[in-house]
Structure 1
Amino acid sequence: MTNTLHTKSIPDLLALHADVMEELRTRGVVRSSNNPTGDLAEYIFCKTFGWTQEGNSAKAFDATGSDGTRYQIKGRRIHRRNTSRQLSAIRDFDGFDILAAVLFDDRFCITQAALIPVPLVRDRSTYVKHTNSHRFMLCDEVWDVPGVIDVTERLRAISWD
């Protein structure tokens, strides 16, 4: 299959992007019109573990497990133009029990995923005054910390359809 995207006009590419995002929304994969990384992370974790996804406006957590555990779910897409592993802002450590985090490559394939207890997230986060939030970097050494559960293969094993 050859890539014909380079022959399309910018308006055509933007229209294709809009159509793809709308189809993903119709299928329940994304819930907003924003960058799909966060919504995709929530979808994959909830589908894999059977968690109940919270409403878009839930404060400090995104899903609940059958045992009542509250999960904050974060995703980061890493590609050649941006290799940062900084997750989106964490505003409230008291609102969740476990950080469920996944790294995607530039084509949204899962590269690594982990369940990280909130005390570890708190200890390894940096406070950012101007956003009144905390910054957490999902570095490789996180997977070596006791208490962190590598769930990469479990997430890769699910069917996305």
Structure 2
Amino acid sequence: MPQNANAGREANLFGHRIAKIVAEELHLEFTGHSSSNQCKGPKGIGVIKSAKEGNAYIGILKTMLPRLDIIYAAIGCDKNTYQVFEVTKNKVEEFKFEPTSKKNKNQWFIKVRDIKKLRPVLKISDTGSTSAKKIMPSKVVHKKEHKQTQNIEKRIQELFESYNNIMDELRDLKVIRSTNNPAGDYGEYLAEHKLGLIQAPKSSKGYDLTDNNGTKYQVKTRRLTRHNKSRQLGGFRDLDEKLFDYCLAIILTEDFILNEMWVISHDIICKYTRDTTRGFQRLVLDGKLLKEIGVKRIF
């Protein structure tokens, strides 16, 4: 057999062997021609591609790509070990390019280094022979690592579901009004109920609460945590329009307990804010600011 034909046969056997290991571990079902490694699974129609260590690209037939939802790329990281990456349709569109060689004009190429920017979902070992007569693929896969990843992802989903349930209940109790960080809405809730203020309509620009005399208050809330003890308040905008009379600056503990509440006049806010490159002014609730005549701690 000519050398090129032999090398091509060996490459095909290698690709099919790796594809079988990946398919078994990710619970994929082969659907296409026996030579295509096309498959289907929970994430739709896919194809399994492999590249040995040192290979720079993987290739995808242009006629195949439109019907694919995902590419499973097994990339060699040493002699017998491969990391498996899930390359979604969006990432394929981002990474693909047309090769310069005319003989490859029927394919899209994707650089291995781009694929490696993604997070691997699986690690497999292949110690099988490349002989056409005897293929003995090793299925020594890091199952424990893969299962741990699945458990972590499941727990993350459970936590976000709990978070959504908590947010829904806080909205029902009228503690929060939006789907944003709850600290801001909770600060407004505390100021409203502890000071007997009136909630401004959602469409109000530049202020959150008013009193019976029509005085306008903008509320800025900061929650301090063990990971972030910064006392920088949320950004101020359009200060030159004087959209509020006073700022109520609120500091919460990590457990959302009211720790401090300060009332600061508009002119003091203007005096101490500093411009940023992001189009707003910032203010840190500390130092000389807290000693100004127009600043008073009320809680």
Q: TM-score, normalised by structure 2?
A: 0.46
Aligned-residue offset at 1:57: 2.8
**How far 1:80 moved relative to its partner?**
1.2
**Secondary structure in structure 2 of the residue aligned to 1:58:** coil
Map of 2:254 onto structure 1? 106
State the shift of 1:58 in Å: 1.4
1:125 alignment partner AA:
T
Match status 1:56 vs 2:202: yes
3-state SS, counterpart of residue 44 of structure 1:
helix
Superposition RMSD in Å: 1.5
Alignment-derived partner of residue 27 in structure 1: 173
Q: Distance in 1 between matches of 2:222 and 2:287?
A: 13
**Mapping of 1:133-144 within 5 angstroms?**
133-139=280-286, 141-144=288-291
Residues 79-98 of structure 1 correspond to what in structure 2 (within 5 A)? 79-93=225-239, 94-98=242-246
Cα distance in 2 for partners of 1:123, 1:136 equals 10
Q: Deviations over 1:95-150 (max 9, x none)?
A: 0000001001111111211000111111010012x322110111155333222121
Aligned partners of 2:220, 2:174: CA distance in 1, in Å? 18
Within the alignment, does 1:66 sit opposite 2:219 as a pair? no
Query: Which has the larger Rg?
Result: 2
Q: How many residues are aligned here?
A: 144
Aligned partner of 1:44: which letter? L
**One-letter amino acid matched to 2:255:** R
Instruction: Give the aligned partner of residue 265 of structure 2.
Output: 117
AA matched with 1:89: G
Work out whether 1:42 is the aligned partner of 2:188.
Answer: yes
Q: What are structure 1's unaligned runs of at least 5 residues? A: 1-7, 153-161
CA displacement at 1:76 relative to structure 2: 0.4
For residues 142 and 112 of structure 1, what CA distance do their matches in structure 2 show?
15
The CA deviation at 1:89 is 1.1
Q: Check the 8 A contact 2:183/2:223 in 1, yes or no.
A: yes
- Which residue type is aligned with residue 158 of structure 2? D
TM-fit CA distance, 1:81: 1.0
